[in-house]
Amino acid sequence: MTYECITTRTEGDKVAIITLNRPKALNALNDQLMDELGAALKGFDADPAIGCIVLTGSEKAFAAGADITAMAKFTFADAYKGDFITRNWETIRNIRKPVIAAVSGFALGGGCELAMMCDFIIAADNAKFGQPEIKLGIIPGAGGTQRLPRAVGKSKAMDMALTGRMMDATEAERAGLVSRVVPLDKLQEETLGAALQICAFSQVAVMAAKESVNRAFEGTLADGIVFERRLFHALFATADQKEGMDAFVNKRPAEFQHR
Ligand code: CAA
Protein backbone atom coordinates (compact mmCIF):
# COMPACT_ATOMS: atom_id res chain seq x y z
CA MET A 1 0.00 0.00 0.00
CA THR A 2 1.34 3.48 -0.81
CA TYR A 3 0.86 6.14 1.80
CA GLU A 4 0.41 9.87 1.37
CA CYS A 5 0.01 11.09 4.95
CA ILE A 6 2.60 8.91 6.65
CA THR A 7 5.98 7.41 5.79
CA THR A 8 7.30 4.10 7.04
CA ARG A 9 10.74 2.55 7.31
CA THR A 10 12.57 -0.05 9.33
CA GLU A 11 15.80 0.26 11.34
CA GLY A 12 18.06 -2.72 11.93
CA ASP A 13 15.31 -4.89 10.34
CA LYS A 14 13.61 -5.04 13.74
CA VAL A 15 12.20 -1.60 14.50
CA ALA A 16 9.42 -0.10 12.40
CA ILE A 17 9.27 3.68 12.29
CA ILE A 18 6.04 5.37 11.26
CA THR A 19 6.29 9.13 10.66
CA LEU A 20 3.20 11.31 10.45
CA ASN A 21 3.67 13.39 7.34
CA ARG A 22 1.26 16.26 6.70
CA PRO A 23 3.76 19.05 7.37
CA LYS A 24 1.62 21.88 5.96
CA ALA A 25 -1.11 21.14 8.51
CA LEU A 26 1.26 20.28 11.39
CA ASN A 27 0.30 16.61 10.97
CA ALA A 28 -3.36 17.29 11.68
CA LEU A 29 -5.19 13.98 11.78
CA ASN A 30 -7.79 13.33 9.11
CA ASP A 31 -9.50 10.11 8.10
CA GLN A 32 -6.95 9.34 5.38
CA LEU A 33 -4.03 9.70 7.78
CA MET A 34 -5.75 7.59 10.42
CA ASP A 35 -6.69 4.90 7.86
CA GLU A 36 -3.07 4.77 6.69
CA LEU A 37 -1.78 4.69 10.25
CA GLY A 38 -4.15 1.84 11.12
CA ALA A 39 -3.02 -0.15 8.06
CA ALA A 40 0.69 0.44 8.77
CA LEU A 41 0.38 -0.51 12.43
CA LYS A 42 -1.53 -3.69 11.59
CA GLY A 43 1.03 -4.61 8.92
CA PHE A 44 4.00 -4.20 11.26
CA ASP A 45 2.20 -5.97 14.10
CA ALA A 46 1.72 -8.98 11.82
CA ASP A 47 5.31 -8.92 10.49
CA PRO A 48 7.35 -11.53 12.41
CA ALA A 49 10.61 -9.61 11.80
CA ILE A 50 9.38 -6.52 13.67
CA GLY A 51 9.82 -6.35 17.44
CA CYS A 52 8.87 -2.75 18.20
CA ILE A 53 7.11 0.15 16.49
CA VAL A 54 8.00 3.83 16.86
CA LEU A 55 5.44 6.51 16.03
CA THR A 56 6.79 10.00 15.44
CA GLY A 57 6.11 13.31 13.69
CA SER A 58 8.21 16.32 12.72
CA GLU A 59 10.37 18.56 14.89
CA LYS A 60 7.60 21.15 14.96
CA ALA A 61 4.64 18.86 15.48
CA PHE A 62 3.92 15.29 16.50
CA ALA A 63 0.32 16.16 15.57
CA ALA A 64 -1.67 19.36 16.17
CA GLY A 65 -4.92 17.43 16.64
CA ALA A 66 -7.83 16.39 14.52
CA ASP A 67 -8.06 18.27 11.23
CA ILE A 68 -10.19 21.28 12.08
CA THR A 69 -10.68 22.22 8.42
CA ALA A 70 -12.09 18.77 7.70
CA MET A 71 -14.56 18.82 10.58
CA ALA A 72 -15.51 22.50 10.79
CA LYS A 73 -18.78 22.08 8.88
CA PHE A 74 -19.73 18.64 10.19
CA THR A 75 -23.22 18.05 11.53
CA PHE A 76 -23.75 15.53 14.32
CA ALA A 77 -24.90 13.01 11.68
CA ASP A 78 -21.70 13.48 9.63
CA ALA A 79 -19.45 13.00 12.66
CA TYR A 80 -21.43 10.06 14.02
CA LYS A 81 -21.98 8.15 10.77
CA GLY A 82 -18.40 8.62 9.56
CA ASP A 83 -16.96 7.93 13.02
CA PHE A 84 -14.66 10.83 12.16
CA ILE A 85 -11.02 10.30 13.19
CA THR A 86 -11.86 7.83 15.93
CA ARG A 87 -12.73 4.85 13.72
CA ASN A 88 -9.18 3.51 13.79
CA TRP A 89 -8.46 3.98 17.46
CA GLU A 90 -9.54 0.48 18.39
CA THR A 91 -7.00 -0.79 15.84
CA ILE A 92 -4.25 1.10 17.66
CA ARG A 93 -5.42 -0.24 21.00
CA ASN A 94 -5.27 -3.79 19.69
CA ILE A 95 -1.65 -3.66 18.48
CA ARG A 96 0.16 -6.31 20.53
CA LYS A 97 3.77 -5.28 19.95
CA PRO A 98 5.16 -2.28 21.82
CA VAL A 99 4.50 1.12 20.27
CA ILE A 100 6.69 4.02 21.46
CA ALA A 101 5.67 7.63 20.75
CA ALA A 102 8.66 9.88 20.00
CA VAL A 103 7.17 13.34 20.44
CA SER A 104 8.70 16.65 19.44
CA GLY A 105 6.78 19.89 19.06
CA PHE A 106 3.02 20.06 19.41
CA ALA A 107 1.00 17.06 20.58
CA LEU A 108 -2.41 18.67 20.89
CA GLY A 109 -5.96 17.36 20.98
CA GLY A 110 -6.05 14.14 18.96
CA GLY A 111 -2.24 14.37 18.75
CA CYS A 112 -1.94 14.19 22.52
CA GLU A 113 -4.53 11.40 22.56
CA LEU A 114 -2.59 9.50 19.90
CA ALA A 115 0.63 9.79 21.91
CA MET A 116 -1.20 8.57 25.02
CA MET A 117 -2.46 5.50 23.14
CA CYS A 118 1.13 4.44 22.57
CA ASP A 119 2.75 2.33 25.28
CA PHE A 120 5.06 5.07 26.42
CA ILE A 121 6.13 8.52 25.35
CA ILE A 122 9.67 9.78 24.93
CA ALA A 123 9.55 13.56 24.57
CA ALA A 124 11.99 16.05 23.10
CA ASP A 125 12.60 19.11 25.23
CA ASN A 126 10.52 21.21 22.82
CA ALA A 127 7.41 19.01 23.17
CA LYS A 128 4.11 20.61 24.17
CA PHE A 129 1.07 18.63 25.18
CA GLY A 130 -2.48 19.86 25.44
CA GLN A 131 -6.18 19.19 25.03
CA PRO A 132 -7.30 22.54 23.58
CA GLU A 133 -10.66 21.28 22.22
CA ILE A 134 -12.55 23.49 24.68
CA LYS A 135 -11.37 26.51 22.68
CA LEU A 136 -13.21 25.09 19.64
CA GLY A 137 -16.47 24.50 21.49
CA ILE A 138 -15.95 20.74 21.74
CA ILE A 139 -14.27 18.24 24.08
CA PRO A 140 -11.57 15.62 23.41
CA GLY A 141 -13.02 12.80 21.35
CA ALA A 142 -10.35 10.12 21.22
CA GLY A 143 -9.84 9.21 24.86
CA GLY A 144 -8.36 12.45 26.23
CA THR A 145 -10.80 12.85 29.11
CA GLN A 146 -10.14 9.23 30.12
CA ARG A 147 -6.43 8.66 29.52
CA LEU A 148 -5.15 12.06 30.66
CA PRO A 149 -6.56 11.78 34.23
CA ARG A 150 -5.19 8.25 34.47
CA ALA A 151 -1.76 9.58 33.44
CA VAL A 152 -1.55 12.87 35.35
CA GLY A 153 -4.36 12.78 37.92
CA LYS A 154 -7.71 14.59 38.04
CA SER A 155 -6.57 18.10 38.93
CA LYS A 156 -4.05 18.54 36.14
CA ALA A 157 -6.31 16.76 33.61
CA MET A 158 -9.20 19.09 34.50
CA ASP A 159 -6.87 22.10 34.25
CA MET A 160 -5.77 21.00 30.76
CA ALA A 161 -9.27 20.12 29.51
CA LEU A 162 -11.03 23.17 30.97
CA THR A 163 -8.46 25.89 30.20
CA GLY A 164 -6.95 24.32 27.07
CA ARG A 165 -3.47 25.31 28.21
CA MET A 166 -0.36 23.47 27.05
CA MET A 167 2.06 21.53 29.23
CA ASP A 168 5.75 21.64 28.37
CA ALA A 169 8.01 18.58 28.38
CA THR A 170 9.35 19.22 31.89
CA GLU A 171 5.87 19.46 33.37
CA ALA A 172 4.74 16.43 31.36
CA GLU A 173 7.58 14.32 32.75
CA ARG A 174 6.98 15.56 36.31
CA ALA A 175 3.30 14.68 35.95
CA GLY A 176 4.02 11.19 34.61
CA LEU A 177 2.66 11.73 31.11
CA VAL A 178 6.02 11.00 29.49
CA SER A 179 8.68 8.53 30.52
CA ARG A 180 11.78 10.51 29.47
CA VAL A 181 12.69 13.95 28.17
CA VAL A 182 15.71 14.25 25.88
CA PRO A 183 17.28 17.08 23.84
CA LEU A 184 15.53 17.46 20.49
CA ASP A 185 18.59 16.34 18.53
CA LYS A 186 18.77 13.12 20.58
CA LEU A 187 15.10 12.13 20.27
CA GLN A 188 15.41 9.67 17.39
CA GLU A 189 18.61 8.10 18.76
CA GLU A 190 17.19 7.67 22.27
CA THR A 191 13.90 6.21 20.99
CA LEU A 192 15.65 3.85 18.60
CA GLY A 193 17.92 2.75 21.46
CA ALA A 194 14.91 1.92 23.64
CA ALA A 195 13.22 0.11 20.75
CA LEU A 196 16.30 -1.99 19.97
CA GLN A 197 16.66 -2.85 23.66
CA ILE A 198 13.08 -4.13 23.68
CA CYS A 199 13.69 -6.12 20.48
CA ALA A 200 16.60 -7.97 22.13
CA PHE A 201 14.31 -9.46 24.79
CA SER A 202 11.96 -12.41 24.50
CA GLN A 203 9.04 -11.21 22.40
CA VAL A 204 6.68 -13.46 24.29
CA ALA A 205 7.69 -11.83 27.57
CA VAL A 206 7.54 -8.34 26.02
CA MET A 207 3.99 -8.89 24.72
CA ALA A 208 2.92 -10.39 28.03
CA ALA A 209 4.34 -7.39 29.93
CA LYS A 210 2.47 -4.97 27.66
CA GLU A 211 -0.79 -6.90 28.02
CA SER A 212 -0.42 -7.05 31.77
CA VAL A 213 0.42 -3.34 32.30
CA ASN A 214 -2.58 -2.43 30.12
CA ARG A 215 -4.81 -4.47 32.45
CA ALA A 216 -3.95 -2.00 35.20
CA PHE A 217 -6.04 0.61 33.40
CA GLU A 218 -8.99 -1.55 32.51
CA GLY A 219 -10.08 -3.53 35.52
CA THR A 220 -9.86 -3.86 39.28
CA LEU A 221 -6.55 -4.32 41.09
CA ALA A 222 -7.59 -7.83 42.19
CA ASP A 223 -8.37 -8.92 38.60
CA GLY A 224 -5.15 -7.34 37.32
CA ILE A 225 -3.05 -9.18 39.90
CA VAL A 226 -4.61 -12.55 38.96
CA PHE A 227 -4.11 -11.79 35.24
CA GLU A 228 -0.45 -10.90 35.83
CA ARG A 229 0.13 -14.03 37.92
CA ARG A 230 -1.32 -16.30 35.21
CA LEU A 231 0.98 -14.75 32.56
CA PHE A 232 3.95 -14.85 34.94
CA HIS A 233 3.45 -18.59 35.55
CA ALA A 234 2.79 -19.24 31.84
CA LEU A 235 6.15 -17.74 30.87
CA PHE A 236 7.84 -20.66 32.66
CA ALA A 237 6.60 -22.78 29.74
CA THR A 238 8.82 -20.85 27.30
CA ALA A 239 12.34 -21.71 26.18
CA ASP A 240 13.18 -18.03 26.62
CA GLN A 241 12.63 -18.22 30.38
CA LYS A 242 15.05 -21.18 30.56
CA GLU A 243 17.56 -19.29 28.42
CA GLY A 244 17.24 -15.99 30.31
CA MET A 245 17.73 -17.56 33.70
CA ASP A 246 20.47 -19.96 32.59
CA ALA A 247 22.34 -17.03 31.04
CA PHE A 248 22.08 -15.09 34.30
CA VAL A 249 23.25 -18.03 36.41
CA ASN A 250 26.19 -18.71 34.07
CA LYS A 251 27.11 -15.04 33.69
CA ARG A 252 26.68 -14.88 29.91
CA PRO A 253 24.45 -12.80 27.59
CA ALA A 254 21.03 -14.34 26.88
CA GLU A 255 20.19 -15.44 23.34
CA PHE A 256 16.42 -15.45 23.21
CA GLN A 257 14.68 -17.68 20.67
CA HIS A 258 11.54 -15.60 20.25
CA ARG A 259 12.76 -12.20 19.09
N1 CAA B 1 -6.27 21.14 11.87
C2 CAA B 1 -6.06 21.66 10.64
N3 CAA B 1 -5.04 22.50 10.34
C4 CAA B 1 -4.18 22.80 11.34
C5 CAA B 1 -4.33 22.30 12.63
C6 CAA B 1 -5.43 21.41 12.89
N7 CAA B 1 -5.63 20.84 14.08
N8 CAA B 1 -3.34 22.78 13.41
C9 CAA B 1 -2.59 23.56 12.61
N10 CAA B 1 -3.10 23.57 11.36
C11 CAA B 1 -2.59 24.30 10.20
C12 CAA B 1 -2.88 25.80 10.30
O13 CAA B 1 -4.18 26.08 9.88
C14 CAA B 1 -1.82 26.35 9.38
O15 CAA B 1 -2.25 26.18 8.06
P16 CAA B 1 -2.03 27.40 6.97
O17 CAA B 1 -0.54 27.58 6.89
O18 CAA B 1 -2.65 26.85 5.71
O19 CAA B 1 -2.71 28.60 7.53
C20 CAA B 1 -0.63 25.42 9.59
O21 CAA B 1 -1.18 24.22 10.16
C22 CAA B 1 0.38 25.98 10.58
O23 CAA B 1 -0.31 26.33 11.75
P24 CAA B 1 -0.17 27.77 12.46
O25 CAA B 1 0.10 28.82 11.45
O26 CAA B 1 -1.36 27.96 13.34
O27 CAA B 1 1.16 27.52 13.33
P28 CAA B 1 1.55 28.20 14.71
O29 CAA B 1 2.95 27.77 14.98
O30 CAA B 1 1.24 29.65 14.69
O31 CAA B 1 0.58 27.52 15.81
C32 CAA B 1 -0.57 25.69 16.90
C33 CAA B 1 0.66 26.16 16.08
C34 CAA B 1 -0.54 26.33 18.29
C35 CAA B 1 -0.45 24.17 17.02
C36 CAA B 1 -1.86 26.09 16.16
O37 CAA B 1 -1.76 25.69 14.81
C38 CAA B 1 -3.10 25.50 16.75
O39 CAA B 1 -3.60 25.97 17.76
N40 CAA B 1 -3.66 24.43 16.10
C41 CAA B 1 -4.90 23.82 16.52
C42 CAA B 1 -4.72 22.94 17.72
C43 CAA B 1 -6.05 22.34 18.17
O44 CAA B 1 -6.99 23.03 18.46
N45 CAA B 1 -6.12 20.99 18.21
C46 CAA B 1 -7.29 20.27 18.62
C47 CAA B 1 -8.12 19.87 17.41
S48 CAA B 1 -9.68 19.12 17.86
C49 CAA B 1 -9.30 17.50 18.22
O50 CAA B 1 -8.16 17.08 18.19
C51 CAA B 1 -10.48 16.63 18.60
C52 CAA B 1 -10.13 15.27 19.11
O53 CAA B 1 -9.99 15.09 20.31
C54 CAA B 1 -10.04 14.12 18.21
Whether 66 sits among the annotated catalytic residues: the reply is: yes
Is 69 close to ligand 1, i.e. is its CB under 6 Å away? yes
Q: Is the pLDDT of residue 1 over 80?
A: no
Whether 189 sits among the annotated catalytic residues: the reply is: no
Is 109 close to ligand 1, i.e. is its CB under 6 Å away? yes
**Which position among 36, 109, 133, 205 bears the catalytic label?**
133
Segment 172-223, tens digit of pLDDT? 999 999 999 999 999 999 999 999 999 999 999 999 999 999 999 888 999 9
Element (H, E) at 216: none
Average pLDDT of every residue of the chain: 96
CA distances from 185 to 102, 191, 250 (A): 12, 11, 39
Segment 99-121, tens digit of pLDDT? 999 999 999 999 999 999 999 99
ipTM value: 0.98
Q: Is the pLDDT of residue 53 over 90?
A: yes
The lowest-confidence range among 91-95, 127-131, 202-206 is: 91-95
User: Tell me, what's the pLDDT at 15?
Assistant: 98
Question: What's the pTM?
Answer: 0.96
Q: Is the pLDDT of residue 127 over 90?
A: yes
Where does residue 223 fall: left (phi above 0), alpha (psi -120 to 50 degrees), or beta otherwise?
alpha
Domains, the chain, with CATH or none: 6-199 (3.90.226.10), 202-250 (1.10.12.10)
**Which position among 65, 110, 111, 144 bears the catalytic label?**
110
Where does residue 226 fall: left (phi above 0), alpha (psi -120 to 50 degrees), or beta otherwise?
alpha
**Which position among 113, 141, 173, 205 bears the catalytic label?**
113
Residue nearest to atom 42 of ligand 1 (CA): 64
Ligand 1, residue 86: give the atom nearest the CA.
Answer: 54
When pLDDT is cut at 50, 70 and 90, the band that residue 150 belongs to is very high
